[in-house]
Amino acid sequence: MELMKRTKIVDALKKTDFGEDICIKGWVRTRRGNKNVSFIELNDGSSVHNIQIVADNNKLGIEFLKPITTGACIGVTGKLTQSLGKGQSVEIQAEDIVIYGTADPETYPLQKKEHTMEFLREIAHLRPRTNTFGAVFRIRHHMAMAIHTFFHERGFYYFHTPIITGSDCEGAGQLFQVTTLNLSDLPKAENGCIDYSNDFFGKQTGLTVSGQLEGELGALALGAIYTFGPTFRAENSNTPRHLSEFWMIEPEVAFNELEDNMQLAEDFVKYCVRWALDNCKDDLEFLNNRYDAELIDRLKFVVENDFVRLTYTEGIKILEDAMAKGQKFEFPVGWGIDLQSEHERYLVEKHFKKPVILTDYPKDIKAFYMKLNDDGKTVRAMDVLFPKIGEIIGGSQREDNYEKLKARAKEMEVPDK
């Protein structure tokens, strides 16, 4: 059967032209009903919400409807009608149904119940069909659009930096090696080392840990660039904050000073959060209800408040004062330490109750290329600290004095080549 042009469920749910014919296609979430009528909850990924299909068992045939179980893929044409049931505004009175694919109820693993993340990990090919993964993927898409639109509106150019690289990056952890050599028969040089001259690029290469170096070159030509691409860490740490493969955003701007970078970071975060609040309402509400009842309030709070800006030195003083008043931390506090999540979150969640931008960190815990302050001890670094997360953005004004840069590289034992 040829069906009429399909309407996405996200659009169908907003329609009010009741009595008109409509065609939708999607995957069955549940079917329930009685002897006379079947109610099919259909989802097509365009929304976290399903649309309800009402099917007359006698008209369509009880045997025909039988294989329409959870996970089946169907197309439906019928009349859009105002729903009398609670929790939905429209439903479809099915005229015709086409079954594109069935899902055996005995073996199809996604059923109408909460599945654990561990279980979903085992069925990675199906988990995008769950409400949670659907919501996350839709929000992720919107965040990508927000990121590109933000930078585009400000005259930044999207810059694709190399994924396979011959350069390492400061202390970013172990590299994934990339090779086309036959590992079962590696060529050796006379000194016994592996001879990379016949590897694809004629030398040892790995997956990038940062596009910063190429991004800086781009900024010194195009004025302002940003990267947004996959980045890799071969660290075997299993925490919610470590991934071996993830997408990272790295803006680089010629002529920017630290204050400009702070403003860019604050504007950027607020722009993305506002985009989510404006465009991902249903998915955020789902996540708010299911996982974190303060999620939406926290996002609104970020958008509505100026970020607090203070120096690392002032931040340490606040933490020390808190300890003097009885606050306990797992890790020690003192000028020179690398702040832990618990310290960052204390400043954000307990002390200021706002996002915080901490600046002017001790030079010894930051990268060699950050601009040295006149005190000779601190650098023009900034970290944006966020409720529930801690550091969400790190950045700095770059050292623009070549002699100082060389001296700092030497001090921190950065190799010349």
By CB under 8 A, name the binding residues for a copy of itself: 6, 8, 10, 25-27, 44-46, 73, 75, 100-101, 125-126, 128-129, 133-134, 137-138, 140-141, 144-145, 148, 152, 155, 157-160, 162-164, 174, 176-181, 183-184, 186, 193-194, 200, 207, 217-218, 220-224, 229-230, 232, 234, 236, 244-245, 247, 254-255, 400
| Tokens found for residue 81 | 């009608």
Minimum CB separation from a copy of itself for residue 338, in Å?
25
Nearer to a copy of itself, 346 or 396 (CB): 396
Alpha carbon distance 53, 55 (integer Å): 6
Q: What is the DSSP string of 86-146?
A: TT-SEEEEEEEEEEEE---TTT----SSPPPHHHHHHTTTTGGGSHHHHHHHHHHHHHHHH
Minimum CB separation from a copy of itself for residue 3, in Å?
9
Minimum CB separation from a copy of itself for residue 219, in Å?
8
Minimum CB separation from a copy of itself for residue 340, in Å?
27
Nearer to a copy of itself, 24 or 94 (CB): 24
Nearer to a copy of itself, 21 or 400 (CB): 400
Minimum CB separation from a copy of itself for residue 292, in Å?
22
Instruction: For the sheet with 224-232, list strands across it.
Output: 157-158, 224-232, 245-253
DSSP label at residue 372 = B
| Tokens found for residue 342 | 């618990």
Alpha carbon distance 53, 26 (integer Å): 11
| Helical ranges in 280-324 per DSSP H | 281-290, 295-304, 312-324
Alpha carbon distance 29, 35 (integer Å): 20
Alpha carbon distance 105, 124 (integer Å): 19
Nearer to a copy of itself, 74 or 90 (CB): 74
Nearer to a copy of itself, 175 or 316 (CB): 175
Q: Give strand pairing partners of 22.
A: 78
Nearer to a copy of itself, 223 or 362 (CB): 223
Minimum CB separation from a copy of itself for residue 334, in Å?
35
